[in-house]
Amino acid sequence: MSKDPLERFGAVPQFTVTSDDVADDRPLDRAQWGAGGGGGDVSPQLSWSGFPAETKSFAVTIHDPDAPTGSGFWHWAVYNLPASVTSLPSGAGAVGGANLPRGAAMLSNELGSKSFTGAGPPPGTGTHHYYIVVHALDVDHLDLDPESTPAILGFNAHFHALGRAVVVPVATAGDI
């Protein structure tokens, strides 16, 4: 069974994403929690490989579908990562994007900041799953309005996806 949360819209080849900071079904470290919950708001280190040879750029999204909103919670959305970039360091999602490769852009997260915001599952909402998705795209550049939402990025990525890599760490209120 695939863990690709977007497979129902059309399967694409899967490739590999690894991290020094996060792993499937493992609790997030303090650094990847939100500052309001005792964490550091530090985006995780990510590396990917095995993507389709035709890849021209990448996008990375982090979404919590378990947030009690009816639409989940977008923690990070970055796009226009050149095809030559196959990793991001911890903290690449810092405000201002200084740790991102040249040409990459971030969209505002649910808190209205163009940065990564860490986990913060509210008490009583159970275990939350943080879908970290690296999208391999068939275009060099997505021409998005810089005020677009991560959902708009997801919509555009869907129509340009050549492949996806997914890792899903978890967090439960009270974990840190």
pLDDT for position 10: 83
- Whether residue 159 is contained in a domain is answered as yes
pLDDT for position 165: 97
- Whether residue 2 is contained in a domain is answered as no
Based on the structure, what is the number of domains in the chain?
Answer: 1
CATH, residue 98: 3.90.280.10
Contacts of 47 (CB under 8 A, 6+ apart): 17, 18, 19, 86, 87
- Whether residue 116 is contained in a domain is answered as yes
- Whether residue 27 is contained in a domain is answered as yes
- Whether residue 79 is contained in a domain is answered as yes
pLDDT for position 7: 83
- Whether residue 117 is contained in a domain is answered as yes
Range of the domain at 128: 7-172
pLDDT for position 176: 67
The CA-atom distances, in angstroms, between 23 and each of 30, 56, 71 are 14, 26, 24
pLDDT for position 43: 98
- Whether residue 148 is contained in a domain is answered as yes
Kindly list the averaged pLDDT for each block of 10 residues, start to end, along the chain of length 176. Answer: 77 96 96 93 98 98 96 97 98 95 96 96 95 98 97 97 97 83
Contacts of 59 (CB under 8 A, 6+ apart): 77, 78, 79, 80, 81, 134, 135, 137, 142, 153, 157
pLDDT for position 11: 87
pLDDT for position 150: 98
pLDDT for position 138: 98
- Whether residue 1 is contained in a domain is answered as no
